Structure 1
């Protein structure tokens, strides 16, 4: 059986690296199979990592007993050095409530699907006194002229979909559920001073810090 307990962790300094992470890794239910297929990349990067899974309770909840739950259970037995956590249904609802409070949108009615970045940022805010974010572009990045250089949405899929195309299609999508990446980034930008968050991202030639602080600090 998986051990269900609360994650109690407090850090003075945290680094949040998009499409990756250190010490605490937040994984969507849709990415469980990718984690299992590449354990050397996702499960062996730290001496005592904690992995947090999020998703509908029907897929990964305690009572689901479905394919994903059983898969995570087997992995937990194989990698006894890891600590596995799930975001509870009650906590999932609080993430939805926070999204509506910050954006004015009801997540379900607006057919929005929160991104792993949203979950990771909120968890980091709860655990960390100071957060340095690497690789997350600002909200207006994809609207710049000339248009930014084409980059893959995920670093581990160099031939995958374009980052800006993915952001814009999801932001504007009305049929089906979509991530609202740009809306989320606008919220993160507002949170920056309130929660001591600094955003660092690299262009071809130089490092830019959204709080105008030296990127090497």
Structure 2
């Protein structure tokens, strides 16, 4: 009709002149590129907003710690890694059975385990991740029996081995140390560390300062849990201990009966083992005494105990 205004170009109902197919394709490609660029800029700004400011100051990644007393096999360099903000220390106790804590454990930034405690078959209760595994010299043969599981599948795990000089000395070529060298020949990517003699003496001194008793003269052996807690306090800002009972637990009348290790069902009873060792005149792990000390440490460090839950102090 004469005098009628044509439909505006942004009106979705307006008829559009036919365009060559090639031009349509170029327009679509250009539109996709523009959208992708806009999303990339938005993502960068969002990430910068999330990590660029904390408490009003610019955020910087934590510097790597150099943990003295943990000596790399075979070159002797100290353990270096970034500190962990949140750590799970996973007990090998039968308390873990039926806990359904696997997801909570794996949700922590770092996970510390002990000796040869497996995760396979117990994932729902203990999780799957292992950042650090602290191992007694007496448990090294148990790791060697299942090398594919511990050393081939767990490439990201740091292994920290402790033991007396007669078993661990580099200079004297002690048996456990020689075994570790052979493991490295087969799995050269492994991160293997041993405690130095000075670190072992330091751990003895901490025990004496806390108890007033000389470890050797009192016939006491430190447990792997002791060395794990000391390492955790050096490495972690916040520590959540899973499956460790309090020092009074085994003296309670209605305490539950669980296996000493969650992966050895029907074997030793945990509390019976603790009480026997606590009273042993020599060669005894002072499990209950150690837990009393851990409780004191929880007043100075950010440590909580769960399943069973109890307060440090």
TM-score bin (small chain): 0.7 to 0.9
Equivalent-residue separation in structure 1 for 2:189 and 2:299 (angstroms)? 36
How many residues in Structure 1 have an aligned counterpart in Structure 2? 204
Q: Tell me whether 1:179 sits opposite 2:285 in the alignment.
A: yes
Considering only CA atoms, is the larger Rg found in Structure 1 or Structure 2? 2
Q: TM-score, normalised by structure 1?
A: 0.88
TM-superposed CA distance for 1:78, in Å, is: 1.6
Partner of residue 42, structure 1: 150
Which SS does the other structure have where 1:197 is aligned? strand
User: Is 1:4 equivalent to 2:112 in the alignment?
Assistant: no
Where structure 1 has 5 or more consecutive residues not aligned to the other structure, the ranges are 202-207, 213-217
- SS in structure 1 of the partner of residue 305 of structure 2: strand
Partner of 1:25: 133
The range that moved more, 35-44 or 153-162, is 35-44
Structure 2: runs of 5 or more not aligned: 1-72, 93-111, 114-129
Residue 83 of structure 1: which of 174, 191, 197 is its match? 191
Aligned-pair CA distance for 1:193: 2.7
- 2:131–2:158 CA contact under 8 A, matched in 1: yes
> What is the RMSD of the two structures over their aligned residues, measured on CA atoms?
1.8
Give, in angstroms, the shift of residue 173 of structure 1: 0.8
* Matching residue of 1:169: 276
What residue in structure 2 maps to residue 192 of structure 1? Answer: 298
**More relative contact order in 1 or in 2 (CA 8 Å, sep 6+)?**
1
Cα distance 1:16–1:67, how it changes in 2: closer, same or farther (>3 A)? Answer: same
Q: CA offset at residue 177 of structure 1?
A: 1.2
Which one of the candidate residues 145, 154, 159 is aligned to 2:261? Answer: 154
The answer on whether the counterparts of 1:199 and 1:209 sit within 8 Å (CA) in structure 2 is: yes
Query: Shift in Å at residue 154 of structure 1?
Result: 1.4
Using the alignment, how far apart are the partners of 2:224 and 2:172 within structure 1? 21
For residue 60 of structure 1, the aligned residue among 161, 168, 172 is 168
Please report how far the alpha carbon of residue 127 of structure 1 lies from its aligned counterpart in structure 2 after TM superposition. Answer: 0.9
The 1-side partners of 2:154 and 2:301 are apart by: 26
TM-score by length of 2: 0.62
**Structure 2 Cα separation of the partners of residues 185 and 113 of structure 1:** 14
Do the aligned partners of 1:152 and 1:161 also contact (CA within 8 Å) in 2?
A: yes
Which structure 2 residues correspond to residues 138-153 of structure 1 after superposition, within 5 A? 138-146=246-254, 148-153=255-260
Contact 1:29 1:55 in 2 (8 A): yes
What SS is found at the alignment partner of 1:139? coil
